[in-house]
């Protein structure tokens, strides 16, 4: 959300504030951010490399850590595509049609945002755990969900559920329906309409939603901690591996794994910034415009 | 005449397919699991539910969770507003970079911020070693809980207030100042009322996030029963002891809090939307 217009720079109202007040406010802002955000983030790198490169690389090559990285990647590889398909379907139904209960549906889709991660794990334990509703049945059929990979996938699906839908719905609503209606009335089939008409104009929002969904899927801690059982090398994802190493006083190891997760966060932020810059320039909602406006679009470099 | 139909007719295809899939998936992943928690909690006799939900250790955990969350959201309301103000009104070297890193707590996995804060604020840590001689201990105390919750709530207030601040009607502000109002008066009488709904929304979002937070808190909190133990951690402890009913009872308390926060946030966003459309009149 970069604000291009800066009234103070243009000599607007804010420029009348006393110079000392302006300096004081900037200093307060930067000090607060430094203490609460920048120092902790920089410390991750500092502690990770505190015993040198070789120790850092060795920590990342530990078999349990490699297993944790693999499990995290595999979980994201399953969860992100499923929630992307869901997000696209939900956005199509909500943005392109009018039906009763739409507002309620949007609220329910947003629900996982307001539920504690621990609750997101707890619900699956109560459903599939040994004393859960389906526990005895699963036990007799020798299926394990809790303290196993399926539980990790389910908990991650729940916490990352709204991300893609949430980014797509407002953009697809703004885009209107005329272009799709024109395509369909000219004989295009549903999937053709979506891939050729809708998708090109929402692709940045879709990409942004997928990136956010992926970041949360790989970084989720609370929900996964509840369902995983912390079995080393088997049901331990990267954030859980950070916890295990930290609790064993292996600070370098914990911060080495944490540094990978922080890299993921920084790449996510960079991608977000690029999408905002590039998408703002390129994303033009497909809409039926007056002819004069259509020509103007092509004149732009 | 169409009013009796629950869906407006459209030439576009795929409504049944996409809505059906959305509904089924929503039920399978979100609604049925949450219903399982509600049913488990409701299977307890009310007196038993009440006994678990109000035992001293649980009450102490609510006090810490809500107290620290309120304090953190208030800190974010003050400093988040100042940060949004400097980003919108002033230009200084690195402004765009500062604007970009505000979102970092959204993207940073909570386990990472958790161990980073715990280590930095430990008595030997980068910041803790300067605080220790002053007699301030952050790590393993309630102050540490507040610090962690402040970090994760930071983007909510800044991102709510920023657009509202950018849209404050400049002509009103100029009119106030040309009529002799001091900068402070014009801030208090013109800017603050225009931004209040956004500030309240950001505060409520930060509060809601803080109440449910787990990962970034447990490393710095110290987790002493009755002292520095948050409610989500108490749920995890009950689960580790296979006390599913106890965990379900506390989970239900937290779920009800989440619904209450969700209703509050929806109401605040309605207020904000009305304020935004009312401005044009």
pLDDT of residue A17: 64
Q: Is B78 near chain A, with CB under 8 Å?
A: no
In sequence order, the 6+-apart residues with CB closer than 8 A to the CB of B91 are: A6, A8, A9
Question: For the segment A112-167, what is each residue's pLDDT rounded down to a tens digit?
Answer: 988 999 999 999 999 998 888 888 899 899 888 999 999 999 999 999 999 999 99
Same domain, yes or no: B206 and B76: yes
What is the pTM assigned to this prediction? 0.89
Q: Is B235 in Cβ contact with A122 (below 8 Å)? A: yes
Q: Is B174 in Cβ contact with A114 (below 8 Å)? A: no
Q: Is A123 in Cβ contact with B100 (below 8 Å)? A: no
Q: Classify each residue of B174-190 as buried b or exposed e, where b means 16 or more C-beta atoms within 10 Å of its C-beta.
A: eebbeeebebeebbeeb
pLDDT of residue A16: 53
Choose among B14, B95, B119: nearest Cβ to A47.
B119
Same domain, yes or no: B23 and B60: no
- Taking the C-alpha atoms of residue A246 and residue A3, their distance in angstroms, rounded to an integer, is 40
Same domain, yes or no: B161 and B25: no
Same domain, yes or no: B30 and B86: no
Does the pLDDT of residue A97 top 90, yes or no? Answer: yes
Architecture label for domain A61-285: Orthogonal Bundle (1.10)
Does the pLDDT of residue A9 top 60, yes or no? Answer: no
Same domain, yes or no: B59 and B112: yes
Contact residues, B window 170-199, toward A, CB-based 8 Å cutoff: 170, 173-174, 177, 183
Domain limits for position B22: 14-43
Contact B263, B189 (CB under 8 A): no
Contact B184, B103 (CB under 8 A): no
| Range with the poorest average pLDDT among A172-176, A215-219, A281-285 | A281-285
pLDDT of residue A2: 41
User: In chain B, which stretches have pLDDT less than 50?
Assistant: 1-2, 279-281
Region label for B140, one of left (φ > 0), alpha (ψ between -120 and 50) or beta (otherwise): left
Confidence of residue A294 (pLDDT cuts 50, 70, 90): very low
Question: For the segment B45-66, what is each residue's pLDDT rounded down to a tens digit?
Answer: 999 999 999 999 999 999 999 9
Q: Is B136 near chain A, with CB under 8 Å?
A: no
Choose among A107, A251, A262: nearest Cβ to B112.
A262
Residue B176 lies in a domain: yes
Same domain, yes or no: B220 and B110: yes
A72-87: average pLDDT: 97
Residue B4 lies in a domain: no
- Taking the C-alpha atoms of residue B244 and residue B52, their distance in angstroms, rounded to an integer, is 12
Q: In terms of Cα–Cα distance, which of A163, A273, A170, A174 is closest to A215?
A: A163
Question: For the segment A17-75, what is each residue's pLDDT rounded down to a tens digit?
Answer: 678 888 999 999 999 999 999 999 999 999 999 999 999 999 999 999 999 999 999 99
> CATH number, domain at B108?
1.10.3720.10
> Chain B residues with CB inside 8 Å of A266's CB?
107
The ipTM is: 0.90
Mean pLDDT of chain A: 87
Same domain, yes or no: B27 and B165: no
Residue B95 lies in a domain: yes
A-interface mutation test, from B94, B109, B219, B259, most A Cβ less than 10 A away? B109
A-interface mutation test, from B18, B111, B163, most A Cβ less than 10 A away? B111
Same domain, yes or no: B32 and B139: no
Nearest CA in chain B to A220: B109
Same domain, yes or no: B90 and B26: no
Residue B94 lies in a domain: yes
> Chain A residues with CB inside 8 Å of B117's CB?
40
> Chain A residues with CB inside 8 Å of B156's CB?
none
Give how many domains chain B has, as a whole number: 2
Q: Is A181 in Cβ contact with B11 (below 8 Å)? A: yes
Residue B2 lies in a domain: no
The residue with tokens 């009312």 is B278
- CA distances, A199 to each of A9, A191, A203, B49 (Å): 38, 10, 6, 50
Same domain, yes or no: B118 and B18: no
Residue B134 lies in a domain: yes
Does the pLDDT of residue A1 top 50, yes or no? Answer: no
Same domain, yes or no: B90 and B179: yes
In sequence order, the 6+-apart residues with CB closer than 8 A to the CB of A263 are: none
Q: At B242, list the tokens.
A: 């296979």
Question: For the segment A211-251, what is each residue's pLDDT rounded down to a tens digit?
Answer: 999 999 999 999 999 999 878 888 999 999 999 999 999 99
> Chain B residues with CB inside 8 Å of A154's CB?
29, 33
Q: Is B33 in Cβ contact with A123 (below 8 Å)? A: yes
Q: Is B7 in Cβ contact with A193 (below 8 Å)? A: no
A96-110: average pLDDT: 92
Q: Is A125 in Cβ contact with B79 (below 8 Å)? A: no
């Amino acid at each position: 959300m970069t604000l291009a217009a800066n009234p103070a720079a243009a000599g607007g109202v804010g420029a009348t504030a006393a110079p000392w007040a302006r300096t004081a406010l900037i200093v307060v802002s930067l000090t607060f951010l430094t203490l609460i955000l920048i120092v902790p983030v920089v410390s991750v790198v500092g502690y990770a490399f505190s015993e040198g490169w070789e120790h850092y690389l060795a920590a990342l090559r530990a078999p349990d850590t490699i297993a944790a990285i693999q499990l995290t990647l595999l979980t994201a590889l399953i969860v992100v595509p499923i929630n992307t398909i869901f997000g696209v379907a939900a956005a199509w139904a909500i943005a392109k049609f009018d039906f009763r209960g739409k507002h309620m549906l949007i609220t329910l889709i947003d629900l996982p945002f307001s539920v504690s991660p621990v609750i997101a794990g707890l619900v699956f334990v109560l459903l599939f755990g040994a004393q859960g509703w389906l526990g005895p049945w699963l036990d007799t059929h020798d299926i394990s969900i809790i303290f196993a990979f399926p539980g990790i996938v389910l908990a991650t699906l729940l916490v990352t559920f709204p991300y893609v839908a949430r980014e797509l719905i407002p953009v697809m609503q703004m885009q209107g329906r005329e272009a799709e209606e024109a395509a369909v009335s000219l004989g295009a089939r549903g999937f053709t309409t979506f891939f050729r008409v809708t998708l090109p104009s929402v692709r940045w929002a879709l990409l942004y939603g997928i990136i956010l969904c992926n970041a949360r899927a790989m970084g989720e801690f609370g929900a996964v901690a509840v369902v995983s059982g912390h079995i080393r090398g088997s049901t331990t994802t990267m954030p859980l591996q950070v916890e295990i190493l930290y609790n064993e006083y292996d600070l370098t190891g914990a911060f080495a794994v944490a540094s990978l997760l922080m890299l993921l966060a920084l790449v996510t932020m960079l991608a977000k910034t690029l999408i905002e810059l590039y998408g703002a320039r390129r994303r033009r909602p497909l809409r039926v415009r007056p002819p004069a406006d259509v020509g103007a679009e092509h004149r732009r470099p | 005449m169409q009013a009796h139909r629950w869906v407006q007719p459209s030439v576009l295809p795929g409504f049944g397919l996409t809505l059906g899939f959305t509904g089924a998936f929503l039920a399978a992943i979100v609604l049925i699991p949450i219903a399982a928690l509600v049913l488990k909690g409701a299977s307890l006799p009310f007196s038993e539910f009440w006994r678990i939900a109000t035992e001293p250790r649980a009450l102490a955990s609510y006090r810490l969770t809500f107290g620290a969350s309120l304090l953190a959201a208030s800190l974010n309301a003050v400093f988040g507003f100042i940060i949004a103000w400097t980003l919108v009104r002033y230009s200084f070297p690195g402004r765009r970079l500062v604007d970009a890193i505000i979102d970092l707590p959204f993207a940073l996995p909570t386990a990472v911020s958790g161990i980073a804060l715990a280590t930095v604020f430990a008595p030997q840590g980068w910041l803790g070693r300067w605080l220790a001689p002053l007699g301030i201990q952050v790590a393993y105390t309630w102050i540490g809980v507040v610090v962690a919750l402040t970090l994760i709530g930071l983007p909510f207030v800044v991102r709510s207030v920023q657009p509202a601040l950018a849209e404050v009607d400049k002509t009103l502000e100029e009119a106030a100042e040309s009529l002799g109002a001091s900068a402070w008066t014009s801030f208090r009488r013109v800017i603050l009322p225009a931004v209040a709904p956004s500030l309240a929304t950001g505060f409520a979002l930060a509060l809601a996030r803080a109440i449910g937070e787990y990962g970034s808190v447990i490393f710095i909190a110290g987790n002493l029963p009755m002292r520095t133990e948050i409610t989500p951690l108490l749920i995890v402890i009950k689960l580790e002891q296979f006390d599913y009913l106890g965990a379900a009872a506390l989970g239900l308390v937290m779920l009800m809090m989440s619904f209450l926060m969700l209703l509050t946030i929806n109401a605040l966003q309605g207020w904000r939307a009305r304020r935004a459309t009312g401005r044009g009149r």
